[in-house]
Structure 1
Amino acid sequence: MEDTSSNPLRFETNPYHNVVLKDRKILEITGVKQIDSFDASEFLLETAQGWMVISGKDLTLGKLDTERGDVIIRGLIESLSYVSNKKGKNSESMISKIFK
């Protein structure tokens, strides 16, 4: 069994992954496996289709359904991207790899 003690925001999810952006203010995501980190300007999520980085201003977690893997992020969404590097237990953080 995988050790999740270092990340309490890991949860089960269905294999489907969808993204819906409404007026750049509400982002609905399904198929989220874990939330690695977040603050008012950036979210780092693992989805059924890979790691995702969401950047913006005044970002907040509007909804978190750990049973279904549904997340809603509110705020001004400026960018959304998938990153190919998978985060390893002893590796550098995804954010530091992205901005090298």
Structure 2
Amino acid sequence: MTIHQESARYTISSGDHLVTVRNRKRMDMTSVKSIERFDQEEFYVNTSQGHLLIRGEELRIVHLDVDKGLLTLEGEVKQFQYDESESGLSKSFLHKLFG
């Protein structure tokens, strides 16, 4: 990923996946393909770099632009983790049911 600074602005190459967390209260993402599932405690997001699991409290979508692949969440971010396997969604679901 290349970030270019133009005066006080930063530009990010198209297609790059970027995650920014501000004070664990706001999370901005690029290259978001879809949101597989979400509630106030957990988001499961499909990105260009794989599935991203975000856990926290009182999580909510502030901004979503599917065409541009942009997502902004607010709430208390406690954990985020990439899942390399394609079956991560079903594993998490089954694990929750049968633990």
TM-score, normalised with respect to structure 1: 0.75
Q: Paired residue for 2:20? A: 20
User: Structure 1 stretches of 5 or more lacking a match?
Assistant: 1-13
Structure 1: which amino acid aligns with 2:90? S
User: Structure 2 stretches of 5 or more lacking a match?
Assistant: 1-13
**Does the 8 Å contact 1:52/1:83 carry over to 2?**
yes
Q: Paired residue for 1:62? A: 62
Report the RMSD for the aligned CA atoms in angstroms: 2.0
The list of structure 1 runs, each at least 4 consecutive aligned residues, that deviate by more than 4 angstroms after superposition, is 97-100
How many Å separate the matches in 2 of 1:50 and 1:97? 20
What are the superposed Cα offsets for residues 32-68 of structure 1, whole Å, 9 maximum, x if unpaired?
A: 0010000000000010000000000000011001111
TM-score, normalised with respect to structure 2: 0.76
Q: Paired residue for 1:10? A: none
Kindly, what percent of the aligned residue pairs are identical?
A: 30
Q: Paired residue for 1:7? A: none
Which is greater in Rg?
2
Greater share of helix = 2
